[in-house]
Structure formats: C-alpha cells, structure tokens
Structure 1
Amino acid sequence: MNLDLSLFEITVRLFLSLIMGGMIGMEREYRNQPAGLRTHILVCIGSTVIALIQVQIAASALSYALIYPELSTVIRSDQARLIAQVVSGIGFLGAGTIIVSDRSIRGLTTAASIWAVAGLGLSIGMGYYMIAISSFIGILFALLVVKRLVNIKTLKKIEIRYVHKEATKEFILNYFVENNIRVEDVIFNVDIVDDYLIYTNVYMIDLPKGLTYPQVIEDLSLSKNITKIRMLDL
C-alpha cells in the first residue's frame, strides 16, 4: 500500500498556496506595505512545503510500521512537531514588518496577515482544503471588506511644530473652535535651536462628521508660523 503523496497532489497544493498567498500579498502590495506579493507567496509556499514534509514523514512512518510490525512501538511520528515550529518561527518574520518610529507604529496588520498566511499554507499542505478555502475567504474579508463595513470613529494625534507662540497658538485654537474640533488632550514641548524657541504641540482631537485629517493638516499648514505638521498613531 503506497501512502506517499502523488506528484499531482503535491503540485495542486503548492499551486493553491501560490494563488492564495499571492492574492493576499497583492492586497498588501497595493497598500504599499513592507511585506507584499512575493513575501506572502514565499511564506505560504514555505508553510505548505513544511506541511508536505510532515505529511510525508507520517506516511513513511506508517509504511514502515506496516512492513515491520515488530517496530511499530518504536517508530513515532508527531504530526504537529514541524507545524509548531512554523507557528512559532513565523513571528520573527512578522515582527520585521512592524515599524516603530517616534510616537507611531505601522505594519501590525501586515504582520498579522503573514501569520495568517502561514496558517493557510499549513492547511493546504496538510490537505485540509475546506479549512484552507474558508480561511482564505476570511483573510481577504478581513483585509478588504471589514474596514468598509465597520467604520469606527477613532481619536487621532496631530503634532504641530511652530514659532511665535501666542499668534500661532491663537490661530490653531480658533481653527479648532470654528470647525467644531474637540481637543481631548494636549502635550506641550519647547526646544531652543540657534537661540530660537521652537514649540511642539501634540493635540489628541476628535473630528466632526465631514471633516478629514488630511484636510485639517492642509488648512493648518496655511499659517507661515507652522513649520511642521504630521499625524501620529495613538
């Protein structure tokens, strides 16, 4: 009895991982994320290869046990051993996509998608096609649809660097009042550069409906006293 996977079955599983991993990677590539098309394809195919090896090891162990029954108590094959290494090891690759800069963190969704794609590749490699297809649909749904269906209003931080404290501060506060922007918190800082006072305010603000953060940044940048404006993640 031949328990080995056929070349056709191996090819089908690798092809599925190529297509599914590639489609998820295309979405990340489109959004200009650190890990894109090729990374997701390689992660998915790599996980599939590991799973295929694990399946082959289990098949070989069972074949030897059937041929040599007296060794059945000696031959062991743990189906989860290699898979567990993939699940724990993929975290290092995902961590590499997370960019931590001054008061901001980017790449968490991409790191999660890499981790999910690794699981997808494992399910394909093990031959669990229903799990693989369902997972693939779920991952794409989370990346493409959820944000459009569920619009969660979030607070944002805007960092404003400026000179001429009194006049500029009055300009900023007047703009917030005129546009019904609620200020939840303010962090104030001042630096001395070449005998000039450079002020930096970080405002945590809540925008009214119809007003966007890029619009706020564009409007505030009209002041000649403001030297830098940028969004910060909470």
Structure 2
Amino acid sequence: MSDYLMTQLVFLMKLIVAGICGAVIGYERKSHLKEAGIRTHMLVAIGSALIMIISKYGFGDISTIEGFSMDPSRIAAQIVTGIGFLGAGMIFVRKQTINGLTTAAGIWATAGIGMAIGTNLYFAGVTATILVFLVQAVLQREFKWLNIPSVKQINIYIDTGADSVNEVREMLEAKLQEDKLDVIKFKAAKKESGVTEIEVYIKAPAGYRMTNLLSLFIDNPNIRMIEV
C-alpha cells in the first residue's frame, strides 16, 4: 500500500474516531432533550479534527520553500474563537434562569476532543470523551446531596391597590420567615387593566417546593394569577 493511501486512511480514521466521540456526548445531551444533540456534537468534533489535520498536514508542499515560515497553531486557534459563537447560541437567559450553559460547555469540550484526535492524541481524546459523558450524565442531579440553595421565582398578579399589595407582601413575608427563607428581591409594578405584578425572588434550599406558598393565596379574591 502506498504511503499516500496509508496517510489518507489515517486521516479518515481520525475523522471517524472524532465523530464517534462527538456522538457519545451528543447522545447524552439528546437523551435529556437539550438544544444540541448527536448531529451537532458530531459535526463539531469532526470539524475540529479536520481543521487540526489541515493545520498540521495541509501546508507540506510550501513549508519547504526557502525563507518561508508558518505557525500551524494559528489555524487551530481559530477553532476556539469560532466555537464561542456556537456555544453562545446554546445559552438562553430568562429572568433569573440560565439554560443551555452545560450544553455550551459540552460543545466547547467536544471541539477540544476533536482537536486532540486530529493531532494523534487518541488516548487524551477518548479519555476526555468518557469524562465529559460522565460529568453530564452522572452529575445530572446537580449535586442535590450537597443541599446547595437556589434562587426561586414567583410572580403574583393582583388587582391594583395599596391595600392589596401590602396584604400580599405581609402574608408572603410571614410565610417566608416561618420557612426560614431569604427574600432576594421584591418588586411591584403596575400593569395594564388595573393589575399589579409582584415579582419575588427567594433563596431556597434544595428540594423546596414553591407550591408551599400557593396555599396562602388560594382564597384571596384580589389575586388574578400566579406564576411559579
């Protein structure tokens, strides 16, 4: 077998291995209904491996020219820059909730895995794939056993009126004090059609159910709607 054909087979193997590693990570994300799935992670890994191959082997015909110098790492460095735009598209911020951050980090790690495989670091790439998969799958419960507090949000829509707002606030503060919860933010703003929105952010321990607060307002005729 000619050296040229053998070299092409090695390149092909790199792309296949990178694609498999990306598929493993993408499968875990897809199984949790995340934004990026198998295809996205495969493409990131394969693309990163391909760029590394180009960076390392793509300029052999001109690298021997006298007086010519090049830095092969410059092309590879653009992967890190480019993957940032893709990762940013995975992150969504809604009020106090951030979604997609772990998926974006996984995309970034997948690019690194593809880069490693593209430069013959197979062991490092496969090991990183296993570690990323375990981090995303096994630690999916977000360390609940550590009882880490989180920020909870509740929005209450009531009929506009000073008495109504004060009544709801007093009831809420009494319940939160009873449950030993801290109020991070309390905001009341008038909306259209005579409705006031009360927006409350609470620091709550892991496992705390916001439905515990709903019983306070069930019989209050001034409340139009509650969002938890």
With the length of structure 2 as denominator, give the TM-score of the two structures.
Answer: 0.79
Name which of 120, 126, 133 aligns with 1:133: 126
Give SS of 1:6's match.
helix
Shift of 1:222: 4.6
The alignment's C-alpha RMSD in Å is 3.0
Aligned AA (1:158):
Q
Shift of 1:40: 1.1
Matches within 5 A, 1:186-201: 186-194=185-193, 196-201=194-199
State the number of aligned residues: 218
CA distance in 2, matches of 1:214, 1:88: 41
Shift of 1:120: 0.7
Matches within 5 A, 1:137-176: 137-148=130-141, 150-151=143-144, 152=146, 153-163=148-158, 164-176=164-176
Aligned to 1:104: 97
Aligned to 1:45: 46
Aligned AA (1:35):
A
Matches within 5 A, 1:177-188: 177=177, 180-188=179-187
Structure 2: gaps spanning 5 or more residues: 159-163
Shift of 1:42: 0.9
Change (3 A) 1:177 1:103: closer
1:131-178, Cα deviation, whole Å (9 max, x unpaired): 111211221222123355843402313132231435544543454355
CA distance in 2, matches of 1:12, 1:218: 58
CA distance in 1, matches of 2:22, 2:217: 42
Identity in percent: 28
With the length of structure 1 as denominator, give the TM-score of the two structures.
Answer: 0.77
Tell whether the 8 Å contact from 1:57 to 1:77 is kept in structure 2 after alignment.
no
Give SS of 2:201's match.
strand
Name which of 195, 201, 204 aligns with 1:203: 201
Aligned AA (1:161):
I
CA distance in 2, matches of 1:228, 1:117: 41
Tell whether the 8 Å contact from 2:175 to 2:213 is kept in structure 1 after alignment.
no
Shift of 1:106: 2.0
Aligned to 2:19: 18
CA distance in 1, matches of 2:13, 2:24: 17
Tell whether the 8 Å contact from 1:186 to 1:203 is kept in structure 2 after alignment.
yes
Structure 1: gaps spanning 5 or more residues: 66-70
